[in-house]
């Protein structure tokens, strides 16, 4: 990253302003997590309901330990950092109430992206950052997507290229006696169970409203989305996975070779393109296996398909 751009981003963060930056999952809209006013600017820009807690991004485990009460579970999972995993811990050390939505826990992660890590290390503090979409819309996986969200009042956007993971981080609650998976992601259920030596109860993810990422409609295109489609109509755009249904007039391919990681990386961009396509009235999504990162892909698709309130 350009040195003067980095300086500009840092000075905005230092004076309590918002900067959009890349991570390996999706682009984030970041501000100093210790300053209520700075965090309020994020909520205002996103038009986000204020009861949603934000993820705190840090450059090192050492900084994470300043803001969350570390425990043995966290130790066992720190092997996935830097990476697409957020751990929820008991809160300490001066994170603003607004960033945690007034709760007594805090979600923390170290993102695995060179630009994000360089910025966070230079800042040497906690950056609260939700995905950089406006509330309820599709998460941005390129700098251009971020710019599209804020046509009138764009924040400074640091371009770090397309996000390689493409789905928001896995969120796991480690603040209670038994860990709970709150949001599936690229660090899969099995990876977490192996690292922790536990088995999550089935339905953990669907059940709890503790993580408002669980709100029914989320990550949503503006057009209706039909899941597990094995056919399509003339007015549907196809969200394709593999070689079938490619003869559709409008389609976006997630992965021709049915590679799940590739599908995850392409999903939000593909949804955006279908959503914006003038010939598409609704979207037909082909079935995707629920194994591994497929659980996270299907979680996002289900939210995208949920009726909007």
Q: Is 112 in the site for Mg ion (CB under 5 A)?
A: no
Q: Is 23 in the site for Mg ion (CB under 5 A)?
A: no
Handedness of CA 297, 130, 53, 95 (dihedral sign): positive
Torsion of CA 118, 123, 127, 132, to 10 degrees: -50
Q: Pick what 54 binds: ligand TXA, Mg ion, none; C-beta below 5 to 8 Å, kind-dependent.
A: ligand TXA
Coil, helix or strand at residue 166? coil
Size of the site for Mg ion (CB under 5 A): 1
Q: Which residue number has the CB closest to ligand TXA?
A: 213
Nearest-angstrom CA–CA distance, 254 and 190: 23
Binding mask 67-96 for ligand TXA (x = CB under 6 A): -------------------x-x--------
Q: Among residues 165 and 263, whose Cβ is nearest to ligand TXA? A: 165
Handedness of CA 276, 170, 303, 154 (dihedral sign): negative
Q: Is 168 in the site for ligand TXA (CB under 6 A)?
A: yes
User: How far apart are the two ends of the chain, measured CA to CA in Å?
Assistant: 41
* Residue among 96, 108, 34 at smallest CA distance from 68: 108
Q: Which member of 17, 23, 205, 301 binds ligand TXA (CB under 6 A)?
A: 23
Q: Is 163 in the site for ligand TXA (CB under 6 A)?
A: no
Closest approach of Cβ 151 to ligand TXA, in Å? Answer: 20
Q: Is 141 in the site for ligand TXA (CB under 6 A)?
A: no
Q: Is 54 in the site for ligand TXA (CB under 6 A)?
A: yes
Q: Is 131 in the site for Mg ion (CB under 5 A)?
A: yes
Q: Among residues 93 and 243, whose Cβ is nearest to ligand TXA? A: 93
Q: Is 213 in the site for ligand TXA (CB under 6 A)?
A: yes
Nearest-angstrom CA–CA distance, 54 and 211: 10
Piece in contact with ligand TXA (CB under 6 A), picked from 9-17, 102-110, 145-153, 250-258: 102-110
Torsion of CA 120, 101, 54, 260, to 10 degrees: 150
Q: Is 157 in the site for ligand TXA (CB under 6 A)?
A: no
Q: Is 171 in the site for ligand TXA (CB under 6 A)?
A: yes
Piece in contact with Mg ion (CB under 5 A), picked from 124-132, 224-232, 264-272, 288-296: 124-132
Coil, helix or strand at residue 181? strand
Closest approach of Cβ 212 to ligand TXA, in Å? Answer: 4
Query: From the centroid of its chain, how far is CA 165?
Result: 10
| Beta pairing partners, 240 | 253
Q: Which member of 17, 58, 63, 105 binds ligand TXA (CB under 6 A)?
A: 105
Handedness of CA 235, 241, 245, 248 (dihedral sign): positive
Q: Is 14 left (phi over 0), alpha (psi -120 to 50) or beta?
A: alpha
Q: Are 281 and 223 in contact (CB under 8 A)?
A: yes
Piece in contact with ligand TXA (CB under 6 A), picked from 104-112, 241-249, 253-261, 280-288: 104-112
Residues binding ligand TXA (CB under 6 A): 23, 25-26, 28, 52-55, 86, 88, 100, 103, 105-107, 111, 129-131, 168-169, 171, 182-183, 210-213
């Amino acid at each position: 990253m350009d040195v003067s751009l980095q300086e500009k981003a840092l000075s905005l963060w230092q004076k309590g302003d918002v900067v959009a930056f890349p991570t390996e999952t999706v682009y984030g809209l970041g501000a100093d997590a210790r300053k209520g006013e700075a965090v309020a600017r994020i909520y205002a820009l996103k038009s986000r309901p204020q009861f949603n807690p934000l993820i705190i991004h840090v450059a090192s485990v050492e900084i994470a330990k300043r803001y969350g009460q570390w425990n043995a579970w966290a130790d066992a999972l720190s092997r996935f950092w830097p990476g697409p995993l957020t751990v929820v811990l008991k809160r300490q050390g001066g994170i603003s109430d607004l960033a945690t939505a007034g709760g007594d826990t805090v979600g923390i992660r170290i993102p695995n992206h060179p630009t994000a890590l360089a910025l966070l290390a230079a800042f040497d503090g906690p950056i609260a950052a939700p995905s950089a979409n406006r509330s309820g819309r599709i998460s941005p996986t390129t700098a251009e997507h971020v710019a599209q969200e804020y046509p009138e009042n764009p924040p400074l956007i640091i371009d770090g290229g397309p996000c390689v993971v493409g789905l928001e981080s896995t969120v796991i609650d480690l603040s209670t006696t038994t860990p709970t998976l709150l949001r599936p992601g690229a660090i899969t259920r099995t990876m977490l169970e192996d690292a922790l030596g536990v088995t999550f109860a089935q339905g953990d993810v669907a059940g709890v409203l503790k993580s408002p990422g669980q709100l029914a409609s989320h990550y949503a295109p503006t057009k209706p989305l039909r899941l597990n489609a094995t056919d399509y109509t003339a007015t549907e755009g196809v969200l394709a996975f593999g070689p079938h249904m490619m003869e559709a007039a409008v389609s976006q391919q997630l992965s021709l070779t049915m590679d799940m990681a590739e599908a995850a990386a392409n999903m939000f961009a593909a949804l955006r393109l279908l959503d914006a396509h003038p010939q598409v009235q609704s979207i037909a999504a082909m079935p995707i296996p629920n194994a591994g990162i497929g659980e996270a892909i299907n979680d996002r698709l289900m939210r995208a398909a949920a009726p909007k309130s």
